[in-house]
Amino acid sequence: MKNRVLIVIGDAAETLDTMYPYYRLIEGGFEPVVAAPEKRRYQMVLHEVKPGWTITKEWEGYSIEADVAFSEIDPQDYLGIFYSGGRAPEYIREDPDLIRITQFFFEKQAPIASVCHGVEIPARAGCVTGRRMATVPKCKFDLEVCGGIFVDEPCVVDGNLVSGRTYHDHGHFVGPWIQLLEEAQRS
């Protein structure tokens, strides 16, 4: 039974955006597979808008080993995909293999989840036209300029696509995404 699920990261992926779904997948009986530009260790970060600040402050977070490079991925081997947030999506969204993988999951209508800056990847891949998604307000432009519809809610479900704004929303949108994975696994 296929139970492997991709988690897309790069350097400066947000720690909670990555680790929360990683462990939730394990709890749900799925195998999280960390995917990145290269198969190596990546440095994650912590993001928060501190009281009195108007911009995000960044701290060094945990590091994580990528299990597979984008170029090595046959997306047919995976049940679904998760786009982690942080600054990584801005830097990895131009990767042609990541664009190929992203387009596959959207065309297949597989379970997809995105949080925070993760929206920049499907937006760049041309997959958000007419789709409702949550993201951080500063990524609203990235979503809308690519034809997506910004929704400022903790959980937005648009068919096979589930999204949240930041790690503060994980308790709202990761569960519905896991349910989509369970349904896909049964079919």
**CA distance readout (Å), 39 to 69, 77, 155:** 5, 18, 31
What values do phi and psi take at 125, rounded to 5? Answer: -80, 0
Catalytic-labelled residue, pool 117, 168, 170, 172: 117
Cβ atoms of 113 and 78 within 8 Å: the answer is: no
Whether 117 is catalytic is yes
Angle at 153 between CA 29 and CA 99, to 5 degrees: 60
Would you please indicate which residues are annotated as catalytic (active-site) residues? 117
